[in-house]
Amino acid sequence: MCLAVPGKVQSIWERDGKRMATVVFGEGEKEACLQLVPETEVGDYTIVHLGFALQRIDEATALRTLALFQEMGEIEADFADPSAAAAEASGWAEQQVAWERSAQ
């Protein structure tokens, strides 16, 4: 599922003339473009979707929302290793184990 997730801005820099940030979401972090919310500063919370910070929000709202997403398992899904997730979804891991057992 693709969600707009609140995160805390850890650092800000410029890339090709655009303000960028490292945004922390619980245990993970991602880069986000700040062009839509230029007033964002380090320490602010912002909602990020598809690599773009969409709006600033207060800390209490951000933490409540993150807690709900974590309960639903959505945060882990967004930060999971994509190759491991693809292997799991395809059933490849189970097939590999079955093949190894039959080869013994």
pLDDT tens column, 45-73: 999 999 999 999 999 999 898 888 778 77
- Residue 34's closest CA among 9, 58, 57? 9
Q: Is the pTM of this model over 0.85?
A: no
- Beta-carbon count within 10 A of 64 CB: 12
Residue 5 is predicted with a pLDDT of 87
CATH of 5-103 among 2.30.30.140, 1.10.260.40, 2.40.440.10, 3.90.180.10? 2.30.30.140
Instruction: Please state, in angstroms and rounded to a whole number, the distance separating the CA atoms of residues 9 and 17.
Output: 19
pLDDT of residue 83: 47
Structure tokens at 90: 């395809």
Q: What is the pLDDT of residue 47?
A: 95
